[in-house]
Structure 1
Amino acid sequence: MPAPIPVSISTAIMAAGRRLDQRGWVPATAGNFSMKLEAGRIAVTRSGVHKGFLQPEHVMVVDGEGRAEDPALRPSAETLLHCGIYRRFPGAQASLHGHSVANTVLSRRAGACVVLEGYELLKAFPGLETHEARIELPVLDNDQDIARMQRELDRRWDALERDGVAVPPGYLIRGHGVYVWAGSMDGALARLEALEFMLECELMQGRG
Structure 2
Amino acid sequence: MQALLSSELIDAGRWIDSQGWCPATGGNFSARLGENLALVTASGRHKGRLTTEDLLTVDLQGNPVDSDLKPSAETLLHTRLYQLDKQIGAVLHTHSVASTVLSRMVTGEWLTISGYEMQKSLAGNTRHDETLQLAVFDNTQDMPELAEQLAMRWQQTPLNWGFLVSGHGLYAWGKDIAEARRHLEGLEFLFACELEMRRLGVK
Q: Distance between the aligned counterparts of 1:141 and 1:99, measured in 2? A: 15
- Look up the match of 2:198: 206
- Look up the match of 2:30: 34
The correspondence for 2:113, drawn from 108, 112, 116, is 116
Matching of residue 154 in structure 1 with residue 154 in structure 2: no
Is residue 122–residue 182 contact of structure 2 (8 Å, CA) maintained in 1? no
Q: Which amino acid is 2:99 matched to?
A: N
Identity %: 41
The correspondence for 1:192, drawn from 163, 184, 188, is 184
> Scaled by the length of structure 2, what TM-score is found?
0.95
> Scaled by the length of structure 1, what TM-score is found?
0.92
Q: CA deviation at 1:39?
A: 4.3
User: What number of residue pairs does the alignment pair up?
Assistant: 199
The correspondence for 1:98, drawn from 86, 94, 100, is 94
Q: Distance between the aligned counterparts of 1:39 and 1:88, measured in 2? A: 12
1:115-154 equivalence runs, <5 A: 115-154=112-151
| SS of residue paired to 1:86 | helix
1:74-93 equivalence runs, <5 A: 74-93=70-89
Q: Distance between the aligned counterparts of 2:122 and 2:84, measured in 1? A: 17
Matching of residue 73 in structure 1 with residue 65 in structure 2: no
Is residue 30–residue 92 contact of structure 2 (8 Å, CA) maintained in 1? yes
Unaligned runs of 5+ residues in structure 2 are: none
Q: Distance between the aligned counterparts of 1:184 and 1:120, measured in 2? A: 23
Q: Which amino acid is 1:134 matched to?
A: T
Distance 1:6 1:160, change over 3 A: closer
Stretch deviating more after TM superposition (189-198 or 128-137): 128-137
Unaligned runs of 5+ residues in structure 1 are: 162-166
